Chain A
């Protein structure tokens, strides 16, 4: 089990490495990238909107309750803002995209694998790494941060709505404390995380697809395990980022 995991991790790194090499050798094939960006970005907007709006609202509600016990409800915005943009929105966006997009990548590429379309690509001189994997990784690395930034906005609107409209926190003290304590760096931290989540989702989705075993069952397994694996990896990487980012990039 452990050795299988290490082997798989190695294989995923090899895949990513090959994709990076193909990128720098100028072998990338970009005809499909717009479609990928649309499918990752535009089509994820509804689910990202819902997820981030509600997480902003729930977090605001609980923070409000906590602060009201301390008699400091005006601080609600500050804590909510930092938690949302640094942690919650990037991680939730990542996990939601892993479920939508990572799964779709594994299913699509897995189907191509078991129906010999990957073999057909080789015989027609199209390298599956340059043709399938690289554009997906690039599209995800670009679109997950974009969605996260959008989610930040939605999450904050949700938090504002609950705090100010429902709970009656003073609007100007909400925004004042929000912007007084939340720094641009908090948002950037979240976006850097999101970028790495994008890479993880696409790399695992593509890898699971390419290594899918014969038959419809193989594709099903590839799909499920891509979601499980990338969700867990996102949570682990998020923790590691939490440890590294403060001292490497900020000094």
Chain B
């Protein structure tokens, strides 16, 4: 078996009771790319993501990271893997008991030996990378949705991760904030530098940011390709999804 991708998924199955959500998902994500998984609501995109980041265990199949199988790794091994993985959650998932700076420093505190000063400097650096300055002491509840998303990205990049996972990064944002986040994700991919795996149903985002697109449907990946290839796809399901025509 040859594993060429930085992250590679082979025959992933996941069911809940009788609900087979993932039925043999295969993915190959190459180093440095922006890989976008699209699919309709409820198709299992978040479940796929949770399997990839170790929040759920697959029933069957393998997940490789740097050539190593990780889905059955021990808690201790996951602690190491997580230093190289970062996640930006759909609703940002900032800790609302802390201010902005403590949120960004949270991972640094437990995964580095940085001094207080080094942490503060790094937090400020990350916040300025996402275009936020001078908000270190603000409470999470005082932030708008777009600001929360950017703070979540700042928190994610603080540890210079190898892979950044995003769950619906543009959902619920206004069109302008959406574009800002799209550009930010592309910039983070270059500047951190990292590989990005994004799940979304936002096509505008997908065609602006993706280097590779995969479509998840009925528990399987039914088509993979460059954005222009997806646009020209002959697959009726992909076509319908892109055109937005109901059944």
Contact = CB atoms under 8 A, between A and B. Distances in A.
Contact of B55 (A111, A122, A126): A122
Contacts of B111: 124-125
B91 A116 contact: yes
B96 A126 contact: no
A125 B55 CA distance: 12
A130 to B, nearest CB: 11
Interface in A99-128: 108, 111-112, 115-117, 119-120, 122-126
B79 A120 contact: no
Interface in B39-90: 50, 53-55, 79, 82-83, 85-87, 89-90
A119 B93 CA distance: 8
B82 A125 contact: yes
A125 B107 CA distance: 8
A125 B93 contact: no
A119 B89 contact: yes
B119 to A, nearest CB: 14
Contacts of B54: 122
Contacts, number: 46
Q: Which of B87, B93, B96, B155 has the most CB of A within 10 A?
A: B93
A125 B110 contact: yes
A240 B79 CA distance: 42
Contact of B85 (A111, A119, A120, A123): A123
Contacts of B96: 111, 115, 117
Interface of A is mostly: helix
B91 A124 contact: no
Interface residues of A, number: 13
Nearest to B107: A124
B89 A124 contact: no
B95 interface: yes
B93 A117 contact: yes
Contact of A116 (B83, B89, B97, B106): B89
A116 B79 CA distance: 19
Interface in A48-95: none
Interface in A198-224: none
A188 B106 CA distance: 42
A112 B92 CA distance: 12
Contacts of A124: 82, 106-107, 110-111, 155
A123 B55 contact: yes
Interface string A150-166: 00000000000000000
Contacts of A117: 93-96
A204 B111 CA distance: 31
8 contacts: A116-B90, A117-B96, A120-B93, A123-B53, A123-B82, A124-B82, A124-B110, A125-B110
Give the top 3 A-B pairs by smallest Cβ distance, nearest first.
A116-B93, A120-B93, A116-B89
Interface of A: 108, 111-112, 115-117, 119-120, 122-126
Given A119-B89, A123-B85, 20 more contacts: A112-B95, A115-B93, A116-B90, A116-B91, A117-B95, A120-B87, A120-B95, A122-B54, A122-B55, A123-B53, A123-B82, A123-B87, A124-B82, A124-B106, A124-B110, A125-B79, A125-B82, A125-B107, A125-B111, A126-B106
